[in-house]
Amino acid sequence: MEKTLPYSWYVDPEILRREQERIFRTAWQYAGHVGEAPEPGTFFATQAGRTPVVVTRARDGELRAFLNVCRHRGFPVVEGAGKRETLQCPYHAWTYGLDGSLRTAPRAEELADFDQSELGLCRVAVDTWGPFVFVNIAPDPEPLEDALGSMPAQVAELGLDVDELVFYTRWQTELEANWKVVCENFLECYHCSVAHPQLAQMLDVSAAAYALSTDGRLSSQHGPTRETSTTRMHLDGELPRSQFHFLWPNLGVNIFPGRPNISIGPIVPLSPDRTHRFLDYFFGSDVDQPWIDELMAFDEQVGIEDRALVEGVHRGIASGALEHGYLMGHSEQLIGHFQELTREALAVEPQPAD
């Protein structure tokens, strides 16, 4: 049987430091949606992993992104979102335009070598897929299109036009578990018939019917719908089946059968034993409120069940009682894929199988 990553990797601060350096600093990260900076003069603060970023739309209408770190002493320049012509650091009032240029710095005239043109905010890559905004802090990242792989095509094949979706709400939480535990839970439905009874009523999660696939850094799960007496919402709509996508290292995308819907968001490590997660929910403009309410309640219940699972797994791993676990071949192949990519990024040889 294939072994999991060593359990020490889920609790060791040094491993997390290496993950931040070798994984998150080069990966495209979901940052938010275009509705947060819809017109010239708007901005929103976000994160790329643990790196603060601000996304702006200046007077020229171009979407830009910068490190949300003042060039003077490193204080975050802005919080939240808003509409204004400039961004002013609350520490010493260094003021930047939405194009990133430094506009003013108090007492700058006292320094003969103060070069204002060289002290703008540090720009980072930004791009979009439909309404979804991604950022990348690497010096020369691959195009977002390449990073997304076949996910946009798979979503389009399902019949979902992401450009027609409308933002509904953001859900966010913190989990007492390592980020890899949270990702790995997302990447298998081996547990669904046991831990998610409502989901197992909606979808056929049997090994024969529930399709798993990988494409580069993309892992996908396609679940056919069940027709039951207790769950009807997924049969009445344009989307005939579910799709769940995971883009390594930490992006989760959920599409349920029925009316046009998607939820998307990152899984972000805060510490070896704590993870931040948020999901942005989008629906078609003509999806009625009762259908949305039913889906949100359904997904909330799945989230409650998953919290208990990942926090329980982390407690077991952190106990130090065992060195590693095992993967169940076909059913957990996407976890194996995730762990292989993670191991390669950290440049560590795999453990031999038993």
- State mean pLDDT over 106-118: 95
The pLDDT tens digits of the residues spanning 241-274 come to: 999 999 999 999 999 999 999 999 999 999 999 9
Domains and CATH numbers, the chain: 29-140 (2.102.10.10), 145-345 (3.90.380.10)
| Sign, CA torsion 317/318/319/323 | positive
Q: Token pair 């700058």 is at which residue?
A: 108
In one letter, which amino acid is 258?
G
Residue 254: strand pairing partners? 244, 263
Q: Determine how many CB atoms are found less than 10 A away from the CB of residue 336.
A: 22
| CA distance linking residue 298 with residue 308, whole number of Å | 16
Q: What is the dihedral of CA 217, 247, 57, 25, to 10 degrees?
A: -60
Considering only CA atoms, which of 315, 299, 218 is closest in space to residue 254?
A: 299
**4: helix, strand or coil:** coil
The pLDDT tens digits of the residues spanning 193-242 come to: 999 988 998 899 999 999 999 999 999 999 998 877 665 667 678 999 99
- Whole-model pTM: value is 0.94
For residues 153-178, b (16+ Cβ closer than 10 Å) or e, as one string? Answer: ebbeebebebeebebeeeeeeebbbb
Tokens, residue 321: 């009682």
